[in-house]
Amino acid sequence: MNERFSIRAHCTGKSMAWTLAHPEIEPDENSSDCIEALTRRLEQGEPLAYLLERAEFHDVSLKVNTSVLVPRPETELLVELACDEIVKGAKVLELGTGSGAIALALAKARPDVDITATDVCEKALECARENARRLGQAPTFLCADWLAGIEGQFDAILSNPPYVAADDDCLTQPPLAFEPRHALDGGKDGLEALRRIVENALPRLNSGGMLALEHGFDQGEKMREMLEKKGYVNIATLHDLAGHERVSWGWRA
């Protein structure tokens, strides 16, 4: 029901509070057409964030479109972990930034850190840069395929990479069917991007630097094994609100 009120507020240009308080007031013809069109898309399973062209994440409001994933509450764990663990003035690299959600939420919460965020998709970077301008934040955004071509050393590397197995039926069903496939498809076993990051991140971390990665609910054990095999220490995993293993991290000795 709140989704439909959100559409009504969006199409009429009224606040959500006003819309909820005045359900009896009929919208004009243009607003009615907008409401009908967006409601039809909602009923087909398209994410509400795409219909409204915005999403709330951590403590920021973001513009989103079909070039980027809809930011999810689980990913806020990465921001909270970084806020708690990285040192003052740290250099942070975020890989696969999409809308810029992680980088911009971290920039707001920790204005002392120096953030570089990358994505292989130029349209995603356009969205991230627009969000940064609107929010008055100034991470450096670069086009890169994970760590390829990135220079310098970092105190923390963060990422929410694709981690759904390529043959998982959920990729062809709403809501994921509406989201960019390249940001979801993690290859045959869902671990291709995660494996690539773990393999290449350690030399780019300063001593005592942290690598933190979001992953699938059933990939925690494999993530810890990969991190340990590569030489990370003090490896741990955070659980999301549903109790699933969701973010694993380790440190360069």
pLDDT per position as a tens digit, 180-194: 999 999 999 999 999
Alpha carbon distance 35, 6 (integer Å): 10
- The pLDDT of residue 1: 62
Q: CA triplet 218, 223, 229: central angle to 5 degrees?
A: 150
Q: What is the tens place of the pLDDT at every residue in 30-47?
A: 999 999 999 999 999 999
Q: What is the tens place of the pLDDT at every residue in 110-142?
A: 999 999 999 999 999 999 999 999 999 999 999
- The pLDDT of residue 229: 98
Which of 148, 65, 51, 150 shows the shortest CA–CA distance to 100? Answer: 65
- The pLDDT of residue 114: 98
Is residue 53 over pLDDT 80? yes
Is residue 199 over pLDDT 80? yes
Q: What is the tens place of the pLDDT at every residue in 56-99?
A: 999 999 999 999 999 999 999 999 999 999 999 999 999 999 99
Give the chain's end-to-end CA distance (angstroms, integer).
Answer: 51
pLDDT band at 24 (very low <50, low <70, confident <90, very high): confident
Q: Provide the residue type at 191 as one letter.
A: L
Token pair for 99: 């809308």
Is residue 159 over pLDDT 90? yes
Q: What is the mean pLDDT of the chain?
A: 96
Q: Provide, rounded to the nearest whole percent, the portion of the chain with pLDDT above 90.
A: 94
Domains of the chain: 2-44 (no CATH), 68-251 (3.40.50.150)
Alpha carbon distance 64, 230 (integer Å): 35
Q: What is the DSSP string of 195-210?
A: HHHHHHHGGGEEEEEE
Is residue 177 over pLDDT 80? yes
Q: CA triplet 77, 83, 84: central angle to 5 degrees?
A: 90
